Amino acid sequence: MNGSPVFTALLADPTASLDSLLAAAGARHPVVFETVRLADMEIDVLQIEDMAAYVDRLAASSDNDHPLSLPFWAKLWPASLPMAVLLAKMRPAPASLLEVGAGVGLCGLAAAMRGVRTVITDIEPEAALFIKAAILKNGLADRATAQVTDFTVDRLGQRFETVAASEALYLPHTHAGLLDFLDAHLEDTPNAQVLLSCDDSRRPDAFMSLAKPRFSIGRMETSRTDEDGVERRSAIYRLRKSA
């Protein structure tokens, strides 16, 4: 988890301006808002302007004392797009949503654009800073918040009608902690659900086997063609608490 006292202070300050957030983010690397079009909405998402150049600089500065740590949170993963579309089109929209391991926060932002009370979380303070900037840029401060959260240990003290996460299952040693976190933050109501998306090539069988005693599990496949003409197949899993 890489952060700075400046990030921590800005995340805790409800009066922090968009300019101050962008200045803090831009002090590390150039950043730019990119517009993502989903269904009938447009969402401005903060991105590292030249990710390849930034990774090259990280690699050049790494050594045995400072191992290379790649900013996976900053990538807009393909599996997050169908999840965001689902949340944008969901009718009726959930009353509340928690996004876990959000990265740049696209899914939570899409829900907030529909008027959903949304908490968008990531373990990386810099990711939460990017999310908070996007919340302000999109005019969502009245219904969305960004928060640093480690789902393996933290508890937020509230429950949500929907909990969503994209590509959160790639580290097997976090599965048990994630499952407990989902259970602790999902409402005990008939409509409450967990939505998990991942690339179709990554079968999350180990996590789903762990979840089966607590949740009923459904699966749907999605397919989209990206801007390079490549077909991207993803799976979205819907989990509901077992009776």
Give the tens place of pLDDT for each residue, 158-198: 999 999 999 999 899 999 999 999 999 999 999 999 999 99
Is the pLDDT score of 1 beyond 60? no
User: Which residue, 129, 93, 133, is CA-closest to 112?
Assistant: 93
pTM of the model: 0.92
Is the pLDDT score of 58 beyond 70? no
The whole-number average pLDDT for the span 72-82 is 89
- The answer to whether 70 and 58 have CB atoms below 8 angstroms apart is yes
Q: 125 pLDDT band (50/70/90 cuts)?
A: very high
Query: What phi-psi label fits residue 37: left (phi over 0), alpha (psi between -120 and 50 degrees) or beta?
Result: beta
Q: Up-side HSE of residue 113: CA atoms within 13 Å toward CB?
A: 26
Q: What is the mean pLDDT of the chain?
A: 92
User: Which residue, 154, 158, 178, is CA-closest to 166?
Assistant: 178
Q: What is the pLDDT of residue 219?
A: 95
Is the pLDDT score of 229 beyond 90? no
**Where do runs of H (alpha helix) occur along 74-221?**
80-89, 106-113, 125-137, 175-185, 205-211
Q: What is the pLDDT of residue 57?
A: 73
Q: 3 pLDDT band (50/70/90 cuts)?
A: low
Q: What is the pLDDT of residue 71?
A: 74
